[in-house]
Amino acid sequence: MITYNPKDWFTFIFRFHKADTLRKLAPLIFGISVYCWVIAFLELHVLKIPDNSHIKQITVMHTLLSFVISMLLVFRTNTAYDRWWEGRKQWGSLVNNSRNLAIKLHSMLGYEDAAHRSFFKKIIPMYASVLAHHLHAESTRLALDEQEHPELRELNTSQHLPNQVAKLIIQRVNKLYTEGKIKGDQLIILNNELQSFTDICGACERIKNTPIPYSYSVFLKKFIFFYVMTLPFSFALSLGYLAVPVVAFIFYVLASLEEIAEEIEDPFGGDENDLPMNKMAQNIKKHVVEILS
């Protein structure tokens, strides 16, 4: 995720980063510009359409449709940002619940329970790491660090890995209860954090696996395309060759909004504006180790 100063205007205006839409849309902008120049050349020099032609009245259609396209783009960007913010809230909950679980276990376990403490130091942060890789990858795979993890030998990498790690956590907590390390009321206290891991995973999967409906996305792209493709017919008569940069800029604005929405609607990808899940998983590991040490 890009960290920036929202008050630095000049940096925003004159800086082009990897995620900038101008880089991605440059070929299309160039094609639209060439298309607009051809239309202007034909109307002004080949067909020599007079200024009072009815073609110039196409701007009335553009005026009417501009309200419709603005409402569609507002809905599109708001929906995409809601998905991004929902993903951030879920990972914020994962950070808090991991800390709370570690704090509660620290208060319940004695210092003589070194084996249990060592297990939870590894397994609680590992859930966040496994979930991050699960959401990044199309096919689930486990990416552990270089240390040995004998407590995870039962994991089957062909199955749902976050569920397996959550199962190991609950099994160890249940073992603490059967051994008398924690009481029944303490087990109930731990239940909220234990259950929240799977709830967060399910919510993130819902965002990851349910994009905006296909028909809506296709219609919006077609709408923008045909809207921009009809602009040169009227603009060339009123603006001349100046219509080329004007139409190119209009296309850049409309297409950029759609491009931004496509990027942020999946907050678990590898784009610069996506959530830094690996960094948050590292912070969880740091905090849990500090608490249980």
Quote the pLDDT of residue 139: 43
Quote the pLDDT of residue 144: 37
d(CA 234, CA 56): 4
Q: Is the pLDDT confidence value at 136 over 90?
A: no
Residue with tokens 């190119």: 248
Question: Within 48-183, where are the H helices?
Answer: 58-108, 114-136, 161-178
Asked if 200 and 93 touch (Cβ cutoff 8 Å), the reply is: yes
Query: Sign of the CA dihedral 241, 246, 249, 254?
Result: negative
d(CA 290, CA 93): 19
Quote the pLDDT of residue 44: 82
Mean pLDDT of 263-275: 83
Q: Is the pLDDT confidence value at 140 over 50?
A: no
Average pLDDT over the chain, rounded to an integer: 83
Q: Name the strand (E) or helix (H) holding 31.
A: helix 21-41
Specify the pTM: 0.79
Quote the pLDDT of residue 208: 86
Quote the pLDDT of residue 146: 47
pLDDT digit string (tens) for 34-78? 999 999 888 888 777 766 666 767 778 888 888 888 898 999 999
What does the chain come to in residues? 293
Mean pLDDT of 65-93: 91
Q: Is the pLDDT confidence value at 96 over 90?
A: yes
Q: Is the pLDDT confidence value at 249 over 90?
A: yes
Q: Please, which pLDDT band fits residue 82 given cuts at 50, 70 and 90? A: very high
Query: Sign of the CA dihedral 278, 283, 286, 290?
Result: negative
Quote the pLDDT of residue 18: 56
Task: Work out the number of other CB atoms within 10 angstroms of the CB of residue 51.
Answer: 7
CA dist list (Å): 288 to 46, 126, 129, 291: 74, 11, 13, 5
Quote the pLDDT of residue 98: 92
d(CA 282, CA 190): 23
Task: Work out the number of other CB atoms within 10 angstroms of the CB of residue 261.
Answer: 22
d(CA 181, CA 104): 13
Mean pLDDT of 242-258: 91
Q: Which of 52-61, 119-128, 132-141 has the lowest mean pLDDT?
A: 132-141
Q: Please, which pLDDT band fits residue 9 given cuts at 50, 70 and 90? A: low
